[in-house]
């Protein structure tokens, strides 16, 4: 895992965008970074499930669920599939469930909260479009850096690789 801290990234790079949200960490990794793949959906995780079934290539799925805590956009089955397919993490502006299993996975999961209810699946939502979470705009391919201090977004890779 690449070494970074989001406070240091903010200090060193004035052009970064910070998600002004109080996320909690529910996955097995609380420190992760990668390029963004974006989804916008509301109480329907059909697109989250579909994207988790595709190769992740070390990317981070960024899901704007409108902040709803009424239905979980991620549970153990989708998270396990994402992990197996090479996704590094998910940032969810919404809720998750099955947190005892999520904590055992080699996957970063940041979300607003938990609820045991799953979503209905109607195939509703948008994928690959620019979204905004907590005042930070995120486009497909932007770089996401997440740790215990928060989530930072950048147009370019901020780490020397």
With 70 as the cut, is the pLDDT of residue 1 above it?
Answer: no
Across the chain, what does the average pLDDT equal? 97
Task: Give residue-wise pLDDT tens across range 65-105.
Answer: 999 999 999 999 999 999 999 999 999 999 999 999 999 99
Percent of the chain scoring above 70 in pLDDT: 99
What pTM was computed for the model?
0.97
Burial of 20 from C-beta contacts in 10 A (0-12 / 13-18 / 19+): exposed
pLDDT band at 2; cut points 50, 70, 90: confident
Residues 124, 111, 134, 84: what is their CA dihedral angle, to the nearest 10 degrees? -70
Q: What pLDDT does residue 89 have?
A: 98
Task: Give residue-wise pLDDT tens across range 11-68.
Answer: 999 999 999 999 999 999 999 999 999 999 999 999 999 999 999 999 999 999 999 9
What the block records as the tokens of 122 is 């109607």
Phi-psi region of 125 (alpha: psi -120 to 50; beta: other; left: phi over 0): left
Q: What pLDDT does residue 101 have?
A: 98
With 70 as the cut, is the pLDDT of residue 161 above it?
Answer: no
- 118-153 b/e (C-beta count within 10 Å ≥ 16 → b): bbeeeeebeeeeebebbebebeeebbbbbbeebbbb
Domains and CATH numbers, the chain: 7-138+150-154 (3.50.30.40)
In this prediction, residues 111-138 reach a mean pLDDT of 97
Q: What pLDDT does residue 116 have?
A: 98
């Amino acid at each position: 895992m690449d070494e970074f801290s989001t406070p240091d990234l903010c200090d060193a790079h004035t052009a970064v965008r910070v998600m002004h949200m109080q996320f909690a960490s529910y996955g097995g990794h609380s420190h992760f970074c990668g390029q963004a793949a974006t989804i916008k959906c509301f109480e329907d995780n059909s697109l989250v499930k579909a994207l988790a079934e595709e190769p992740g290539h070390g990317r981070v799925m960024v899901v704007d669920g409108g902040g709803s805590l009424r239905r979980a956009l991620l549970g153990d089955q989708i998270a396990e599939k994402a992990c197996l397919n090479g996704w590094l993490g998910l940032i969810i502006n919404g809720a998750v469930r099955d947190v005892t299993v999520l904590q055992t996975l080699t996957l970063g999961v940041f979300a607003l909260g938990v609820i045991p209810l799953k979503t209905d699946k109607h195939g509703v939502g948008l994928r690959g479009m620019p979204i905004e979470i907590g005042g930070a705009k995120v486009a497909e391919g932007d770089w996401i850096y997440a740790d215990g201090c928060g989530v930072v977004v950048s147009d370019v890779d901020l780490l020397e690789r």
